[in-house]
Amino acid sequence: MIARMDAHKQTADPPVDVRGMRILVADDYPANREYMCEVLKDAGYREVLSTAEAREVPRLCSGPLPPDLLLLDLNMPGMSGYEVLGEIRPLLTTPPYLAVIVITGETGRDAKRRALSLGANDFLTKPFDGPEMLLRVGNLLRSHRLRHSLNDLVAERTTELERARLETLECLAAAAEYRDDDTGRHTQRVGHTAALIAGELGLDEDTVRLIRLAAPLHDVGKIGIPDAILLKPGPLTDSELLAIRRHVEIGAEILAHGSSPEMKLAHDIALHHHERWDGTGYGRGLAGAQTPITARITAAADSFDAMTHARPYKEAWTLDRALTEMAEQRALQFDPDVVDAFMRLDHGTLIEPVRSVHELTAEPIAA
pLDDT at residue 77 in the model: 87
Q: Are residues 273 and 183 in the same domain?
A: yes
**In whole angstroms, what is the distance from residue 76 CA to residue 85 CA?**
12
Average pLDDT over residues 164-191: 71
Task: Return the DSSP state at 257.
Answer: T
pLDDT at residue 268 in the model: 96
Q: How confident is the model at residue 179 (pLDDT cuts 50, 70, 90)?
A: low
Q: For residue 159, tell me if it sits in a domain.
A: no
E strands of 91-138, at which residues?
Answer: 99-104, 122-125
**Start-to-end Cα distance in the chain:** 67
Q: Are residues 93 and 196 in the same domain?
A: no
Q: Which helix (H) or strand (E) holds 322?
A: helix 319-328
- Measured at the CA of 166, the angle between CA 165 and CA 169, to 5 degrees, comes to 85
pLDDT at residue 293 in the model: 98
Pick the last residue of a domain from 100, 135, 152. Answer: 152
Q: Are residues 137 and 186 in the same domain?
A: no
Buried-exposed string 27-60: b where 16+ CB fall within 10 A, e elsewhere: bebeebbebbbebbeebebeebebbbebeebbeb
Which own/partner contact pairs does 166-170 have at CB distance under 8 Å and 24+ positions apart?
166/213, 166/258, 166/260, 166/262, 166/263, 166/266, 167/358, 169/217, 169/220, 169/254, 169/255, 169/266, 170/216, 170/217, 170/357
Q: Give the domain range for residue 139.
A: 7-152
CATH number reported for the structural domain that contains residue 86 in this entry:
3.40.50.2300
Domain count within the chain? 2
- Measured at the CA of 229, the angle between CA 224 and CA 231, to 5 degrees, comes to 100
Average pLDDT over residues 120-133: 86
pLDDT: which is higher, 128 or 104: 104
Q: Are residues 206 and 82 in the same domain?
A: no
Average pLDDT over residues 269-276: 97
* Cβ pair 48, 37 in contact under 8 A: yes
CATH number reported for the structural domain that contains residue 316 in this entry:
1.10.3210.10
What is the percentage of the chain residues whose pLDDT exceeds 70?
A: 84
CB-based contacts of 71: which residues, under 8 Å, 6+ apart? 23, 24, 25, 26, 27, 36, 101, 103, 124, 133, 137
Q: For residue 187, tell me if it sits in a domain.
A: yes
Q: For residue 366, tell me if it sits in a domain.
A: no
Q: For residue 49, tell me if it sits in a domain.
A: yes
Q: Are residues 14 and 131 in the same domain?
A: yes
Q: Are residues 128 and 15 in the same domain?
A: yes
pLDDT: which is higher, 7 or 265: 265
Q: For residue 163, tell me if it sits in a domain.
A: no
Q: How confident is the model at residue 16 (pLDDT cuts 50, 70, 90)?
A: very low
Q: Which residues pair with 334 in a beta bridge?
A: 330
**In whole angstroms, what is the distance from residue 195 CA to residue 4 CA?**
68
* Residues listed for the chain: 367
> Per mean pLDDT, which of 147-156, 267-276, 352-361 is the most reliable?
267-276
Q: Which residues pair with 122 in a beta bridge?
A: 101
Q: For residue 173, tell me if it sits in a domain.
A: no
Q: Are residues 329 and 267 in the same domain?
A: yes
Q: For residue 168, tell me if it sits in a domain.
A: no
Q: Are residues 245 and 134 in the same domain?
A: no
Q: Are residues 113 and 240 in the same domain?
A: no
Q: What strand order describes the sheet that includes 122-125?
A: 47-51, 22-26, 69-73, 99-104, 122-125
- Phi/psi at 330 (nearest 5 deg)? -60, 125
Q: Are residues 47 and 184 in the same domain?
A: no
What is the percentage of the chain residues whose pLDDT exceeds 90?
A: 49
Q: Are residues 139 and 187 in the same domain?
A: no
Q: For residue 14, tell me if it sits in a domain.
A: yes
**In whole angstroms, what is the distance from residue 136 CA to residue 69 CA?**
11
What is the pTM for the complete model shown? 0.57
**Closest C-alpha among 60, 191, 63, 174 to residue 71:** 60
**In whole angstroms, what is the distance from residue 57 CA to residue 89 CA?**
12
pLDDT at residue 145 in the model: 77
**In whole angstroms, what is the distance from residue 298 CA to residue 304 CA?**
10
Q: Are residues 329 and 277 in the same domain?
A: yes
Q: Which helix (H) or strand (E) holds 37?
A: helix 30-42
